[in-house]
Amino acid sequence: MIKKISFYAFLFFLTTYLSAQSPAKYWIQFTDKNNSEYSIENPDRYLSERAIEKRKMFNIPITETDLPVNQLYINNILNLDTGIVLFTKSKWFNAITVYTEDSLFSEKIQKLPFVKDWERTISMKETEHFVHKDSIYIYKIDRGEVEKKSLPRELNYGETNRQIRLNNVHWLHRMGFYGENIVLMVMDAGFHNVDTLKYFQNLRDEQRLLGVRNFVQLGVNPFKKMSHGTMVLSCIVGYMPDKYVGTAPKVSVYLAKTEDERSENKIEEDNWVAGIEWADSLGVDIVNSSLGYTKFDDSTATRKYEDLTGRVSRASIAADIAIEKGLIICNSAGNEGNKKWYYIGSPADAHNVISVGATNNKGKIAPFSSHGPTADGRVKPDACATGWNTEVVHPRGRVIPSNGTSFASPMLAGMVACLREAFPEKSNFEIIQAVRLSGSKAEYPDRDMGYGITDFLKAYNYLKYNYIDLNEANHQFIPRIKNFVVNEQTLELKINSNFKQTIYFQIEFQKSKKVLKKKIPVKMGINDIKIKLPKTKLAYDFINLKIFRDDDKFEFLLGIEK
């Protein structure tokens, strides 16, 4: 009898204990930032010097959204139970994410007058184990003197040759733009062996790996597992002479683990928000996010196509806030193109995010690449790059082909870094617009490729000669270049003339120093022009093309190669 009573007593205790333990993470939004110890007038307390300088350069105001969350409110939440752990903070949403095992937590926070809203973003099956409850993993960097190695103007790309050339970014490399002095952040699921792989040796030796944070598991080293982030990073900054070259081999990098590979829940969008706010506070120029959110383990949270407006997902809203504050964000379009979902996800649906679709290295759209448009009718994807059989570096040290818009996005992000290096004075919106206008389908976008495959030599011309906002009414004629890279000995273009006239052409070859002058009569309307070019023995050359009549003048920088 005593044994029976003891057994039932134990069973009652166990049931009570388990019911009291409800491990979960919560998003808690506060009503205000009253009595803040921070001020708009002293941003150096919460923004880096680089971030402040960028705001000044582009006249981006510092507002109340930049002020940190009220620490008094945070303390009041943490004091509700000794087991509550603070995970992330969001200045822009005035919110925090916490972990707790208290089954009565939601009832407690509802009673607090400074809590505006709350949401359980993940119900966990097991309790969370922490390496450190009060710190996020920080990569230790030796800040001693370092000698940076210059790269040649003509690289042997090895395994990445075709995927580099698809978007003509090698022409920016030939000008000496490799992403140097540009800061890029990769937000992903983990970066296995990035701290040891030889393909990232140059990155580490030159101290361009600036910092690493883990927003998912506090204190856990993000270099210990998950191959996805490693392969993504290799597309940008991987470098092994004559074997493998990323699209921006000289860019500086921050890494943020925001994706939790153990499940798919809304908490990951809030991790994403924390990561993008970290990028803003550091003064990062470009962020690559090969992440997307449509379906969750909690089926009640799963999105519908109607939600793809850029105004539903917190990640999408944060993305557009970040862009307003000066960032450029490249995000994978998604791999749902041949599945039931079909469309892009979030935050690829954000208004000014460069969502990136995937093609093979010959320009054919990948069957899995997610489609546009957004639910409110905007063109997506914004760009395309190689994401089908993309050559990437595996954490085991091998170069392998892999599929996914996850790889198209970093390919493009690295190219954008080179473009940003070429035009540091241009705003992020000008860069974004140049990328869109330089797509192979920019004139007639479609739902599969959106604006199409970005031609970065064309984008360079848009920014160099200020043709983004070209007003045709102010010109006697408008030239349209068919191909910015001339692969044969004929230069082809169209001239849209307002009347019958004679147009003058001057073609200067930079390396061979040859100069060709032509005058060609044109009729009113569209004129197809073909100009035969002199033969060259050089592997490649740059062409300065000048087209003029009276005071009406256009300039272009073209490439020619065998």
Q: Are residues 445 and 515 in the same domain?
A: no
Q: Locate the DSSP E strands across 66-172.
A: 85-90, 95-102, 115-123
| DSSP string of 350-372, one letter each residue | STT-EEEEEE-TTSPBPTT--B-
- Element of type H or E holding 532: strand 525-532
Please tell me the predicted confidence (pLDDT) of residue 6.
Answer: 53
Please tell me the predicted confidence (pLDDT) of residue 145.
Answer: 72
Please tell me the predicted confidence (pLDDT) of residue 434.
Answer: 97
Least Cα distance to 391 among 366, 418, 364, 361 occurs for 361
pLDDT in tens, 278-326: 999 999 999 999 999 998 888 888 899 999 999 999 999 999 999 999 9
- 29 domain residue, yes or no: yes
524 or 136, which is more confident:
524
Question: Whole domain around residue 208: which residue ranges?
Answer: 161-464
Q: Which two tokens stand for residue 402?
A: 């892999």
The amino acid at 432: I
* Through-space distance between the first and last CA atoms of the chain, rounded to whole angstroms: 94
- 305 domain residue, yes or no: yes
Q: What share of the chain in percent tops pLDDT 90?
A: 83
CB proximity list for 472: less than 8 A, separation 6 or greater: 478, 496
Q: Are residues 435 and 490 in the same domain?
A: no
Split into its structural domains, the chain has a count of 3
Instruction: Show which of 68, 98, 123 is a domain's final residue.
Output: 123
Q: Are residues 307 and 416 in the same domain?
A: yes
Q: Are residues 225 and 242 in the same domain?
A: yes
Q: How far apart are CA 348 and CA 333, in angstroms?
A: 6
Residue 134 has pLDDT above 70, yes or no: no
Q: How far apart are CA 543 and CA 552, in angstroms?
A: 20
260 within 8 A of 275, measured Cβ to Cβ:
no
The pLDDT confidence band at residue 146, using thresholds 50, 70 and 90, is confident
pLDDT in tens, 367-385: 999 999 999 999 999 999 9
Q: How far apart are CA 36 and CA 21, in angstroms?
A: 34
Instruction: Show which of 74, 105, 123 is a domain's final residue.
Output: 123
Question: Burial, 61: exposed, middle or buried (Cβ in 10 Å; 0-12, 13-18, 19+)?
Answer: exposed
Q: Are residues 111 and 182 in the same domain?
A: no
357 within 8 A of 351, measured Cβ to Cβ:
no
Altogether, the residues listed in the chain come to a count of: 562
Q: What share of the chain in percent tops pLDDT 70?
A: 93
Please tell me the predicted confidence (pLDDT) of residue 543.
Answer: 96
Q: Are residues 168 and 81 in the same domain?
A: no
Evaluate if pTM is beyond 0.85.
Answer: yes
Q: Which two tokens stand for residue 323?
A: 């862009």
- 142 domain residue, yes or no: no
Residue 19 has pLDDT above 50, yes or no: no
Alpha helices by DSSP H, 124-169 = 161-165
- 156 domain residue, yes or no: no
Q: Are residues 177 and 45 in the same domain?
A: no
Over the Cα atoms of the chain, what is R_g? 27
Residue 4 has pLDDT above 90, yes or no: no
CATH number of the domain encompassing residue 524: 2.60.40.2550
pLDDT in tens, 426-466: 999 999 999 999 999 999 999 999 999 999 999 999 999 98
C-alpha torsion angle, residues 470, 473, 477, 481 (rounded to 10): 30
CATH number of the domain encompassing residue 273: 3.40.50.200
Least Cα distance to 228 among 271, 274, 139, 292 occurs for 292
296 or 333, which is more confident:
333
pLDDT in tens, 400-421: 999 999 999 999 999 999 999 9
- 11 domain residue, yes or no: no
The amino acid at 512: S
The pLDDT confidence band at residue 470, using thresholds 50, 70 and 90, is low
Q: Which two tokens stand for residue 97?
A: 């994410």
- 320 domain residue, yes or no: yes
The pLDDT confidence band at residue 18, using thresholds 50, 70 and 90, is very low
Please tell me the predicted confidence (pLDDT) of residue 142.
Answer: 67
Residue 114 has pLDDT above 90, yes or no: yes
Pairing of strands 515-522, 501-509: antiparallel
- 154 domain residue, yes or no: no
Please tell me the predicted confidence (pLDDT) of residue 133.
Answer: 65
pLDDT in tens, 184-211: 999 999 999 999 999 999 999 999 999 9
Question: Burial, 492: exposed, middle or buried (Cβ in 10 Å; 0-12, 13-18, 19+)?
Answer: middle
- 147 domain residue, yes or no: no
> Which SS3 state, helix, strand or coil, does residue 277 take?
helix
Q: Are residues 220 and 347 in the same domain?
A: yes
Range 522-528 average pLDDT: 95
Residue 138 has pLDDT above 70, yes or no: no
Residue 136 has pLDDT above 70, yes or no: no
Q: Are residues 166 and 253 in the same domain?
A: yes
Residue 60 has pLDDT above 80, yes or no: yes
Least Cα distance to 84 among 67, 72, 101 occurs for 101
Least Cα distance to 410 among 204, 230, 259 occurs for 230
Q: Are residues 373 and 412 in the same domain?
A: yes
Cα 516 to chain center, whole Å? 42
Q: Are residues 442 and 482 in the same domain?
A: no
CATH number of the domain encompassing residue 42: 3.30.70
Task: Count CB neighbours of 338 within 10 A.
Answer: 12
Please tell me the predicted confidence (pLDDT) of residue 15.
Answer: 45
548: left (phi over 0), alpha (psi -120 to 50) or beta: beta
Range 530-537 average pLDDT: 90
C-alpha torsion angle, residues 102, 106, 109, 113 (rounded to 10): -170
Instruction: Show which of 437, 464, 491 is a domain's final residue.
Output: 464
Cα 226 to chain center, whole Å? 19
The pLDDT confidence band at residue 471, using thresholds 50, 70 and 90, is low
Pairing of strands 209-214, 95-102: unpaired
Please tell me the predicted confidence (pLDDT) of residue 16.
Answer: 44
Please tell me the predicted confidence (pLDDT) of residue 143.
Answer: 65
Q: Are residues 169 and 296 in the same domain?
A: yes
Q: How far apart are CA 327 and CA 319, in angstroms?
A: 9
Average pLDDT over the chain, rounded to an integer: 92
Least Cα distance to 171 among 253, 247, 250, 285 occurs for 247
Q: How far apart are CA 479 and CA 209, in angstroms?
A: 43
